[in-house]
Amino acid sequence: MSELVIETEGLRKEFRTRRGARRVAVADLDLAVPRGGVHGFLGPNGSGKTTTIRMLLGLARPTRGSMRLFGEPVPRRLPVVIGRVGAVVESPKFSPNLTARRNLLLLARTIGAGDDQVDAAVETVGLTGRERDRYKSFSLGMKQRLAIAATLLKDPDLLILDEPTNGLDPAGIREIRDTIRTLGERGVTVLLSSHILAEVQQVCTSATIIGNGRLLASGTVADLLAGDAAFRVRVPDDPARAAGVLAAAGLSTTAEGDGQLRVETDRPESITRALAEAGIWLSELSPVRADLEAFFLDLTAQDRLGTAAAPAEVGTR
Ligand SMILES: Nc1ncnc2c1ncn2[C@@H]1O[C@H](COP(=O)(O)OP(=O)(O)OP(=O)(O)O)[C@@H](O)[C@H]1O
């Protein structure tokens, strides 16, 4: 069992709306983030990611449930562990007319970090060469990287990033992704909240998916996608008959038009054998790339329909 850096049990947050109704933002959430690597915290807009993060950081009070950071119960023991946690939740306040480096130096003074740590942080986030530019001249992506650099000054073991690519263009997204990857490789545990799945899939080792404040699935990215294997088959002559043969062989098959079938299986030989035995020859067989995006959309769609009552069982603990 790997050591858990973040752990919540039955975490719940209810808000009162102005009309006095109850809104459940986080519904009895069990979160388990293992040490090391980049952990995606995924969910559609309004699913409770920010609220969960705010509770973990002592910025919002849970309605009920328990939370631990590095094994310490929070918020009670937050003062003991907060020095090991860096977080970018809201836009930090930098002085627009000061250079990036000057901004970081001022911050470093307040937390007792040295100038060498400022230079190291600038380098980690890829801002070397631009650190003497004024903050106000920075692009959104550079500002976001500077915010991450600021959290690195205290050399955190855990970095919590809430939607760090929000509002960025593709180049900016890639810059942040590279920064996060570098941090993960350096042994920092990163909790990365996002709804941009394709981006997350490229950097995350594990992920938790939530919908309406509830856990939908959790595990390594590889495990999450394992049950999602499919192949695309092209049968030029009689796709309808081929679909019947595959169904009779117990394979779930969908016609996609143009002689193409999608077959849900992780064993391509079961497709070729069934078709060959029926005298049907396929002209193409290719794996459908399983991606977190498709998995996520499927899961959250089921959730909206109310059919995903139990979280998908993908354990990594
Ligand atoms: N202070 C508040 N008062 C009332 N409702 C709130 C408050 N903060 C959040 N909520 C509600 O709680 C739910 C979860 O919001 P939250 O911001 O945690 O979601 P999120 O997953 O971070 O979304 P996004 O991806 O849009 O940032 C939403 O329905 C939101 O409207």
Q: What is the ipTM of this complex?
A: 0.95
| Comparison of pLDDT for 303 and 229, the residue scoring more | 229
Q: Ligand 1 atom closest to Cα of 47? A: 21
Range in 12-16, 60-64, 122-126, 247-251 the model is least confident about: 122-126
pLDDT score, position 100? 95
| CA 240 / ligand 1 centre spacing (Å) | 47
Q: Tokens for 287? A: 């794996």
Q: What is the pLDDT of residues 44-76, one digit of tens each?
A: 888 899 999 999 999 999 999 999 999 999 999
- Spell out the domains of the chain, with CATH numbers in brackets: 4-225 (3.40.50.300), 229-288 (3.30.70.100)
Atom 24 of ligand 1, residue of closest alpha carbon: 45
CB of residue 195 inside a 6 A radius of ligand 1: yes
Range in 162-176, 205-219, 292-306 the model is least confident about: 292-306
Task: Report whether 142 contacts 127 (CB < 8 A).
Answer: yes
| CA 48 / ligand 1 centre spacing (Å) | 6
Task: Report whether 39 contacts 204 (CB < 8 A).
Answer: yes
Q: Which residues contact 102 (CB under 8 A, 6 or more apart)?
A: 95
Q: Cα separations (Å) of 170 from 122, 140, 199?
A: 21, 12, 10
CB of residue 145 inside a 6 A radius of ligand 1: no
| Comparison of pLDDT for 196 and 307, the residue scoring more | 196
Angle at 105 between CA 191 and CA 77, to 5 degrees: 40
pLDDT at 308 over 70: no
Closest CA to 116 of 101, 133, 98: 101
pLDDT score, position 101? 94
pLDDT score, position 240? 92
CB of residue 18 inside a 6 A radius of ligand 1: no
CB of residue 63 inside a 6 A radius of ligand 1: no
Average pLDDT over residues 80-90: 88
pLDDT score, position 154? 87
Task: Report whether 212 contacts 181 (CB < 8 A).
Answer: no
Q: Which residues contact 281 (CB under 8 A, 6 or more apart)?
A: 235, 237, 275
Which residue pairs, CB below 8 angstroms and at least 24 apart, start in 77-84? Answer: 82/57, 82/58, 83/154, 84/156, 84/157, 84/158
CB of residue 164 inside a 6 A radius of ligand 1: no
Look at residue 312 and give its three-state secondary structure: strand
pLDDT at 312 over 50: no
Q: Ligand 1 atom closest to Cα of 50? A: 22
CB of residue 101 inside a 6 A radius of ligand 1: no
Q: Is the dihedral of CA 42, 48, 49, 55 positive or negative?
A: negative
Q: Which residue has the tokens 């959104």?
A: 140
pLDDT score, position 291? 66
Q: Rounded mean pLDDT of the chain?
A: 87
Q: What is the pLDDT of residues 17-48, one digit of tens each?
A: 888 889 899 999 999 999 999 999 998 888 89
pLDDT at 290 over 70: no
